[in-house]
Amino acid sequence: MRDFKVDLSDGRTVEVASYGDEDGIPIFAFHGTPVSNSSWAVVDERARARGVHVLAPNRPGIGGSDPHPLPLVASYVDDVTALADRLDLARFGVVGHSCGGPFALACGALLLDRVKAVATIAGAAPLDTPGMAEGVSAGDRWVLRKLKEGKEGSVRRLFQVMGFAVKYLPRLSLSFFKSQVSASERELLGGVVGRSFVSSISEAFDQGPEAAVNEYRVFSKKENWGFEPGDITVPVHIWQGEEDRNTYPIHARTLAKLMPQAELHLLPGVGHPVMATHFDEILDSLDLPQTSTGT
């Protein structure tokens, strides 16, 4: 893995983590919330073996990426376009984990000439769809409720405490996270996945909680997505663990209803970090091109 920074034409800097084969087929990988791009470290070995270059940018205000308002999920497509131009990528795949899923779908909807295929991995459906707010973790439900009540200050304070805990009490934090998930997830969190998860939360709050608060505010309402999932014409694959207790399977099934053209992959005995256990299958589903660079 190596981190590098890309300067955009508007003067902002975007931090990108590079995993896998740097000369391989490119995939943009979008992290969840509130975590950073280092959550994708778990795919490094498999990506290298498959000849795939995973490029995981930190969204604005996360890690070392400069802050920038994202009024819509679709607004992030401008950053992805700018990154692809700077990196001389004509065609690429896009994957998004958890709340990174909506950002991946936005690219599929709005970058038709550049995106080969999209995969959501434990991806979130619009959280104001009936039943969706109940289909997330207890912590996320609390955040959504406070935002709906206009109590953003309470959410900021929660994220400040969370950032402090994972930075200075990582083992205790990991033990708490393990107590909140399914048995299959607990087993994974006992190894490199757990360490990567805790460090990615810490990095997510390097600049404070505001970026995470804004992301929850934006993707929690369908009107803030800025595109219609059903209008996506590139191939879409929805990957979902049936034991996921962070983004419940109801989200995957709802996304499948919103996108009849998509293929739904339900995985029994699998929790939230699907990319740690099924990355080869995800890559197979994307059917990526063999030519990666050039405009």
Write the DSSP string, 155-215: HHHHHHHHHHHHHH-HHHHHHHHHHTS-HHHHHHHTTHHHHHHHHHHHHHTTT-SHHHHHH
Q: What does the pLDDT average to over 244-261?
A: 95
* Distance of alpha carbon 292 from alpha carbon 290, whole angstroms: 6
Residue 294 is predicted with a pLDDT of 40
Residue 290 is predicted with a pLDDT of 52
> Given strand 115-121, what is the order of strands in its sheet?
2-7, 13-20, 52-57, 25-30, 92-97, 115-121, 236-241, 263-267
Q: What percent of the chain has pLDDT over 70?
A: 97
Residue 295 is predicted with a pLDDT of 34
What class is the 2-286 domain?
alpha beta
Q: What percent of the chain has pLDDT over 90?
A: 86
- Within 10 angstroms of residue 164's Cβ, the number of other Cβ atoms is 13
Residue bearing tokens 């099934």: 253
Distance of CA 155 to the CA centre of its chain: 20
Distances (CA, A) of 17 to 63, 188, 194: 11, 22, 18
Q: What does the pLDDT average to over 189-202?
A: 86
Mean model confidence pLDDT for the chain: 93
pTM comes to: 0.94
What are the boundaries of each domain within the chain? 2-286
Strands 2-7 and 13-20: antiparallel
In this predicted structure, the answer to whether residue 1 has a pLDDT above a threshold of 80 is: no
Residue 191 is predicted with a pLDDT of 77
Question: Among 70-79, 120-129, 170-179, which stretch is predicted with the lowest mean pLDDT?
Answer: 170-179
Q: What is the pLDDT of residues 124-162, one digit of tens each?
A: 999 999 999 999 999 999 999 999 999 999 999 999 999
In this predicted structure, the answer to whether residue 230 has a pLDDT above a threshold of 50 is: yes
Residues in the chain: 295
Contact 227, 110 (CB under 8 A): yes
Contact 119, 244 (CB under 8 A): no
In this predicted structure, the answer to whether residue 95 has a pLDDT above a threshold of 60 is: yes
